[in-house]
Structure 1
Amino acid sequence: MSKKVIFFEVQGGSDKGPDGYRKDTMPMVHALERRGYAAEVIFYDFDNQQAIFNYVLAHGIAYVSRINPGNLKHESAYFSMLRQLCEEGIIAMPHPDAMIGYGAKDALVKLTDTSLVPNDTFAYYTIKELFENFPSSLAKGERVLKQNRGSTGEGIWRVALVDGGQDILHTTTKIKCTEAKDNHVEYWELGEFMAFCEKYIVGDNGMLIDMPFLPRIKEGEIRLLMLQDRPIHVVHKKPYDSEDAFSATLFSGAHYRYDQPEQWQHLVSSFLMQLPEITQLLGGYDLPLIWTADFILDTTSDGHDTYILGEMNCSCVGFTSQLELAEEVAEAIISSILAAHTSIA
């Protein structure tokens, strides 16, 4: 084929290998080339955005976004360029609004009518909303606050009352806060902590998600790695065994185990059954190329196991520990291109 699959990256960031690329990008490029498809990596740069847009329009057939938004200084401009490319017929993997819809933490709030997310899950977009609503939420039990930005557990706080059994909380109420980044504990007054959290709310796509703490996180978080609508493996992430630990990140000492989807058949079947509804509730866009859904075990009122969705990620999900998956990703990219051409014809 004459036109190329364009992989977008950005210069710098902790996700790069010695060659300056993400470690999982070039394996995908080479897998496409082995199948006769031209592919190229372009480093997005805000100052050269128009030239990049023109080049992709002239030479590209599809793009694959491999940029962690946390590494972008001009995130909204990047998304705007991607939308323009989509409008001009470039095949999106994924569409920028799908990136936002699946990747933003408030996706959870949009799914509270499903069995996947507790209905007492809330989003705060202003510091005023946080001050007005979080105290009454915390009074009902231990909570988790999650910022929309960040990675490796940064800005995800488990919040509990130092002295339980309080129906009405005040700004001076003492709270215990554990950050998922490294499971360290801090003690605050409630008002001071909420004021501290304003930094998570300001700026593009700033928000905080407030959801109940699920104590069975101690048994591990279950991550489905999805290739469009197909689970390709499951990562069981068990937090470090200590009193306050609840983080399932490698940095915090969690233990990872890689399983086949068949080993989690009940979870996989249930999730796939609800996937059409999830897709519709999150905007109706094509599923991202590579994305994840993280689950935590909970117990129903009649004593049965259930799985609660903790978050989804699709902006730049890596698979550096299993680079052989690049072959399957390349096949999915080609299938999407062929399907798009068939629908146009």
Structure 2
Amino acid sequence: MASDRPLRIALVWRGDPHAVPLQFPRLQPIHDALERVDVAPAPVAFSEAAVEEARIQLLACDGVLAWVDPLTEGVDRTRFDALLREVSEAGVWVSAHPEVILKMGVKEVLARTRSLGWGTDTHAYATAEAFRTAFPARLAAGRIRVLKQNRGNGNQGVFKVELEDPAQPVGPGSLVTVLEARSDRPEPGVRLGDFMARCEAFLAGEGRLVDQAYQSRVGEGLIRCYMTQNRVIGFSEQFPRNLAIGEPDLPSFGMAREKTMHDEAAPRFQGLRRSMEQDWTPGLQALLGIETRDLPVLWDADFLYGPKTAAGDDSFVLCEINVSCVVPYPLTAVDAIAGAAKALAAAHRSRRASRDGD
């Protein structure tokens, strides 16, 4: 009987399925943690050129843990997500499921959850007309705004937009300075109308643009809160790239890739931990309609420092949720990730066996 064999969970990344050896070193700690709980890990490199091969491998598993970015060298997840939906329909547990990603792993989540304590002045545009109508007025009111494409990674499509002469009326001819988060060099003297026309490409199809208030404390760095479903499993800190490359006179916006990891008990972040576990994650689930069992076993929420409270404590503003490809992660958390994956995959296998009469 299938229920007599050890659980088998695929670890999936984008790569060459015929590479020798077939490995993704950054997933090795989770691979080893799965083995420690008597789960057989199955490495699977996904390529659009070998979808059928991947399908056969995934359908032979009880669960799938996926690390595939929304965009890799211009290639999106369309075919990969279709495959995950197919194997999920067949009874294989998938984390993160594409439908969950569409709810919480996109920038629009910043607007949909702005009523939570992590929220700020944030809006989502679904059409070019809505963008053209509302964005100039919001820029005029705040002088600096941050625009983000709905699905992306590696700071692609994230722009700081700053009025060069905020005393003047704002219109298509107004000059702005634009800085993309993956760049170190601002682009001054850009006509607002021209920049907005460029951004309209992000609204094609089901695209969205998210418009968020600029956080003046961005120069103090970013806090990443790692989660297994609704539990905090660790933190990391990142600091602005201009400091990392030794050019403090450049604007602070995009973050350096290097991270300082902390476990879930790090004293500095216990207030953030309580907020995530007791208030914000339950609030996210209620607003988006996500059951705890459907939350990913590895996801993270990225925060910038917000205004100080009246008591002088830090507040935190959500700037992104990562679900599709969370690496690196705290090595202290791999046993929690493996344990959750085992429990969820086992439950799915049991339901699958009952359905199939095994």
TM-score, normalising length: structure 1: 0.85
Instruction: Give the whole-Å Cα distance in 1 for the aligned partners of 2:186 and 2:152.
Output: 19
Match of 1:78 among 77, 80, 91: 80
Listed one character per residue, the Cα deviations across residues 24-81 of structure 1 (whole Å, up to 9, x for unaligned) are 2233223323432222122334454345434433x21111112112138462232222
Determine if contact 2:69/2:153 at 8 Å carries over to the other structure. no
SS of match in other structure, 1:69: coil
- Give the length in aligned residue pairs: 333
Matched with 2:325 is 316
Instruction: Give the whole-Å Cα distance in 1 for the aligned partners of 2:32 and 2:193.
Output: 53
Listed one character per residue, the Cα deviations across residues 166-207 of structure 1 (whole Å, up to 9, x for unaligned) are 4x411110111122113311120100111122333336x532
| Structure 1, gaps ≥5 residues long | none
| Structure 2, gaps ≥5 residues long | none
Matched with 1:112 is 114
Matched with 1:42 is 44
1:333 and 2:341 correspond: yes
Task: Output aligned runs, 1:59-70, within 5 Å.
Answer: 59-70=60-71
Listed one character per residue, the Cα deviations across residues 311-342 of structure 1 (whole Å, up to 9, x for unaligned) are 1001010126x556444422221132345567
Matched with 2:271 is 266
Listed one character per residue, the Cα deviations across residues 105-139 of structure 1 (whole Å, up to 9, x for unaligned) are 00111102222212x31112333322222101101
1:11 and 2:12 correspond: no
Matched with 2:316 is 307
Listed one character per residue, the Cα deviations across residues 226-248 of structure 1 (whole Å, up to 9, x for unaligned) are 22222222112222353553335
SS of match in other structure, 2:139: helix
Instruction: Give the whole-Å Cα distance in 2 for the aligned partners of 1:96 and 1:32.
Output: 23
SS of match in other structure, 2:71: helix
Determine if contact 1:319/1:325 at 8 Å carries over to the other structure. no
Instruction: Give the whole-Å Cα distance in 1 for the aligned partners of 2:181 and 2:21.
Output: 31
Matched with 1:56 is 58
Instruction: Give the whole-Å Cα distance in 2 for the aligned partners of 1:164 and 1:105.
Output: 27
1:174 and 2:175 correspond: yes
SS of match in other structure, 1:89: coil
SS of match in other structure, 1:197: helix
TM-score, normalising length: structure 2: 0.83
SS of match in other structure, 1:163: coil
| Farther off after superposition, 44-53 or 302-311 | 44-53
| Farther off after superposition, 150-159 or 98-107 | 150-159
Q: 1:153 corresponds to which letter in structure 2?
A: N
Aligned-residue sequence identity (percent) comes to 27
Determine if contact 2:263/2:332 at 8 Å carries over to the other structure. no
Instruction: Give the whole-Å Cα distance in 2 for the aligned partners of 1:68 and 1:21.
Output: 17
Matched with 1:189 is 191
Matched with 2:28 is 26
| Farther off after superposition, 334-343 or 22-31 | 334-343
Greater relative contact order (CA < 8 Å, ≥ 6 in sequence): 2
